[in-house]
């Protein structure tokens, strides 16, 4: 799994994009606002140079791993999709349904939701066994924890693939069955 499609160019989408690009994944970030995505690369560049103290050449390499898109059909060749849209069930379901019509039956569809039902989100897709929650914490490039949330239909194969990907991006993983608030937000 080397091709990642990130849906949403807000704070979480930007942070998740940075993580995968830094770890040599081919990342496509989608936003209906292409100008926002252009600013995203500049923001990541600034963070890498000023805060992460990366060298110019390394930053150039990381940024070369990022492609910007305003076309959902660009998700077609992705192995793994992470949705990082606002916490609105109807918006998430709308995009998951659209993506389900575009991607292959083996593509993993993940949501970065912090509390919404993975089972409900997966109800609109063709292959609900490939839908999983992958909850990154803000700021995503710094926070080491990732919650992997299984819905009632998520396959063990999907969970194992996400665990491997999470290890490749140097994240600590908690795998849980879907419960209200998941683990971290429920404790908070």
Q: Residue 107's closest CA among 8, 5, 186, 185?
A: 5
Specify whether 147 is catalytic.
yes
Provide the pLDDT confidence category of residue 188 given band limits of 50, 70 and 90.
Answer: very low
Backbone angles phi, psi at 69, to 5 degrees: -145, 145
User: What's residue 186's pLDDT?
Assistant: 46
Specify whether 157 is catalytic.
no
Which of these ranges, 14-18, 36-40, 42-46, 54-58, has the smallest mean pLDDT? Answer: 36-40
Q: How far apart are CA 69 and CA 182, in angstroms?
A: 31
User: What's residue 177's pLDDT?
Assistant: 85
Specify whether 185 is catalytic.
yes
Q: Which of 135, 151, 166, 178 is catalytic?
A: 135
Q: How far is CA 116 from CA 14, 24, 85, 112, 134, in A?
A: 21, 30, 12, 9, 12
Specify whether 160 is catalytic.
no
Predicted model pTM: 0.91
């Amino acid at each position: 799994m080397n091709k990642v499609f990130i849906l949403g160019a807000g704070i979480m989408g930007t942070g998740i994009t940075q993580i995968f690009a830094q770890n040599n994944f081919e990342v496509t970030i989608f936003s209906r606002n292409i100008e926002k995505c252009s600013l995203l690369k500049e923001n990541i560049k600034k963070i890498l140079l000023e805060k992460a103290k990366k060298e110019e050449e390394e930053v150039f390499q990381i940024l070369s791993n990022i492609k910007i898109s305003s076309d959902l059909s660009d998700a077609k060749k992705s192995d793994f999709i992470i949705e990082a849209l606002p916490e609105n069930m109807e918006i998430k379901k709308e995009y998951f349904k659209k993506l389900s019509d575009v991607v292959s039956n083996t593509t993993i569809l993940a949501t970065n939701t912090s509390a919404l039902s993975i089972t409900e989100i997966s109800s609109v897709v063709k292959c609900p066994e490939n839908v999983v929650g992958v909850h990154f914490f803000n700021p995503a490039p710094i926070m080491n924890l990732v919650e992997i949330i299984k819905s009632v239909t998520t396959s063990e194969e999907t969970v194992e693939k996400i665990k491997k990907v999470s290890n490749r991006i140097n994240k600590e993983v908690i795998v849980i069955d879907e419960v209200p608030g998941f683990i971290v937000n429920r404790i908070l």
